[in-house]
Structure 1
């Protein structure tokens, strides 16, 4: 093998190696692009989920406040029931 022939062989092998490295980098770049897209999509989904959760929580808080306003005043109802019961008892005793 002569020197020019050896140089040509080395040049061919270097070119083949360059092609292999370029192909590998292209595959890695493609994979990274897919991962970046998934990450962006997950970030958007998470942001939307947070907004939806905050909206649901605010609606739930409003519902709880409405329930608090509309609940029966149990202490007052209990006192009135006691007074009516006592009055009924007094009337029953007087009516005998």
Structure 2
């Protein structure tokens, strides 16, 4: 019984970082096929995002934290090949 508990505890410890960073999977394309970060940043105003506080690579996504043109908080994940929105959280 102790072995089972110990193995489960080890599994939780090993899986925790992966779960904490779990985000959407945006592409399986290699980075050489991605839109450059500067090109993606230039597209954001036309997509309705303003006052970008953070732009980063998260897994296989471009991710931003900022605001919509309406002033709502936005966390958005983009496909870095097409620039399409994969997942977004608006408001709150």
Name the TM-score, length of structure 2 as normaliser: 0.28
Query: Which protein is richer in helix relative to its size?
Result: 1
Query: Which protein is richer in strand relative to its size?
Result: 2
Name the TM-score, length of structure 1 as normaliser: 0.27
Max Rg structure: 1
Higher relative contact order (CA 8 A, sep 6+): 2
